[in-house]
Amino acid sequence: MSGKVLVLDGRFTDKNRWKPPLKYAGIALEKVVKKMSIAREIAAITSTMLPPIAEKKLQCWIRSRHIICSGNFFIFETVNYSAIERFSDCIAALGGTIISVNSVGKIWMGNHRQVILYRAKASLHAPHHDLKQYWIKYGSFRTRFDPQV
């Protein structure tokens, strides 16, 4: 039987050598796949963001001039609608609310392409957040999509 390939327990062996089932860190692979699918379902149900992570994302958008502050409102402009959804998740994690989402118009990206510009307005009245002071230090009065004067 040397040189022949046998099938034992669903695993191919050569020269009558039995190979154990696939394992991942001591757990059978089928169990790992089942646990991963359960984890995905739980993550889909509880897709809330933690406040420190939400604050870091908002600070990044302030530095990149996507967010400006106007009174007690934060105005977010982007060309990507999925970024609007992430922005609303961040605001909700910090205890604020989205007031409105509008399409402002089309802007030119390069010489031959126009994209839709979205603007979201949010209210964040939590006094324990220092996002307004962060915007004063690192932000701008104009977004990156405002026309140059």
Q: Which of 93, 96, 95 is nearest to 120 (CA)?
A: 96
Token pair of 12, please? 């191919």
Per-residue pLDDT at 8 exceeds 70: no
Q: How confident is the model at residue 72 (pLDDT cuts 50, 70, 90)?
A: confident
Q: Which of 129, 63, 139, 47 is nearest to 96 (CA)?
A: 129
Query: Whole-prediction pTM value?
Result: 0.66
Euclidean distance between CA atoms 132 and 1, whole angstroms: 77
Q: Is the dihedral of CA 87, 88, 93, 95 positive or negative?
A: positive
